[in-house]
Amino acid sequence: MVVNSKHYSQIKVIMLDGITYAGFNVIDIEKLYRETGIPLIVFMRSYPNFEKLKSALKHFPDGEKRWKIIEKAGEIYNIAGEKERSSIYIQKIGVSLENVGKIIRLTSTRGNIPEPLRVAHLIATGIILCEPRGKA
């Protein structure tokens, strides 16, 4: 989908709000990077509880496969914000930590969550719930 987009040549980075979506569908960020050639940054508001994740994945027939994708997503970095409670966590591929910091500064207007992710969250929850809820 990304590679076939008419905007592909303009995309400089893919930002994800976590690597699990809609009932533990896991994004293989290594594969996505390899297939698109576009750097990825995964944003998380809190450090993942891997024991709970692993326990929940036991309920899926392919839970072990999903867990391996989570494991290979790489190191999790704590990106401290200007305010005490504004730390976020990221995983990255195809981009340096220094450039991640620059991207966050350029794209964030409210805290450390980049505006494209914040707006995407508002739109998605608005479509699903008919109004935005939660943190974005």
What is the domain partition of the chain in residue ranges? 8-108
Indicate if the alpha-carbon torsion angle 97, 44, 75, 60 is positive or negative.
negative
Residue 26, token pair as written in the block: 């896991």
Q: Measured at the alpha carbon of residue 92, what is the angle toward residues 87 and 97, in degrees to the nearest 5?
A: 70
Tokens 């190191």 belong to residue: 75
When computed from its CA atoms, the radius of gyration of the chain, rounded to whole angstroms, is 15
pLDDT in tens, 8-47: 999 999 999 999 988 789 999 999 999 999 999 999 989 9
Would you place residue 81 in the very low, low, confident or very high pLDDT band (cuts 50, 70, 90)?
low
- Homologous superfamily (CATH) of 8-108 is archaeoglobus fulgidus dsm 4304 superfamily (3.30.2170.10)
Residue 46, token pair as written in the block: 């809190």
CB 27 within 8 A of CB 80: no
Residue 16, token pair as written in the block: 């994800």
- Pairing type for strands 14-17 and 40-44 reads parallel
- Give counts: helices (H), strands (E), the chain: 5, 6
Q: Once rounded to an integer, what is the mean pLDDT over residues 118-122?
A: 87
Query: What is the pTM for the complete model shown?
Result: 0.85
Distance separating alpha carbons of residues 45 and 118, to the nearest angstrom: 12
Would you place residue 123 in the very low, low, confident or very high pLDDT band (cuts 50, 70, 90)?
confident
SS3 56: helix
Any residues with CB less than 8 A from the CB of 16 and at least 6 apart, and which? 27, 29, 40, 41, 42, 43
CB 80 within 8 A of CB 88: no
